[in-house]
Amino acid sequence: MRKDAVPNTFLVSGIWPDGELSIDAPLAAHYGRHVAQTLKRLKNERGLGQRGLAELSGVHHNTVGRVLRGEVYPDLATLARLEQALDVSLYPTGLHRRIHRPRTSGSG
C-alpha cells in the first residue's frame, strides 16, 4: 500500500476530486478528497478564484491549489484558516464510519 502517497495518487477513475479512489486508499486520502470536493464547491458557489480564496483565508495560493488538486494533505492550521474564512466546517467528521474497508491481519 502507498501509505505516504498524496491523496490524488489513489484515484482509479474519473477526475480529482470527484473520481473514485482505490479500494486500498487510506482513510487520509478520503479525507483529502472530501476537503478538496468541499473547497471546490464553495469556491464555485461564492465566485472565488484560487487567489481570491487564498487572499480571503491567508493561505498561500499555491497551497490552496495543491489542496484542491489532491497533491498534499492539508495541515490543521491550513484547515483552520480556510474554515474561518469560509465560515464552514471542512474537516470530514465521521467519515471514518462511512468508509467501509476490509480489515487486514494484524489490525486492531
Q: What is the pLDDT of residues 28-76, one digit of tens each?
A: 999 999 999 999 999 999 999 999 999 999 999 999 999 999 999 999 9
Q: Count CB atoms within 10 A of the CB of residue 10.
A: 24
- Whether residue 103 is contained in a domain is answered as no
pLDDT confidence of residue 108: 47
- Whether residue 23 is contained in a domain is answered as yes
Degrees to nearest 5, angle at CA 57 with 96 and 53 = 90
- Whether residue 38 is contained in a domain is answered as yes
Residue that wins the pLDDT comparison between 91 and 83: 83
pLDDT confidence of residue 102: 55
Mean pLDDT over the full length of the chain: 89
**pLDDT confidence tier of residue 89, bands split at 50, 70 and 90:** very high
- Whether residue 58 is contained in a domain is answered as yes
- Whether residue 22 is contained in a domain is answered as yes
- Whether residue 104 is contained in a domain is answered as no
- How many domains are there within the chain? 1
Give the domain extent around 48: 7-98
Dist. CA 45–CA 1, nearest whole Å:
36
Query: In CATH, what number is assigned to the domain containing residue 34?
Result: 1.10.260.40
pLDDT confidence of residue 86: 97
- Whether residue 2 is contained in a domain is answered as no
- Whether residue 1 is contained in a domain is answered as no
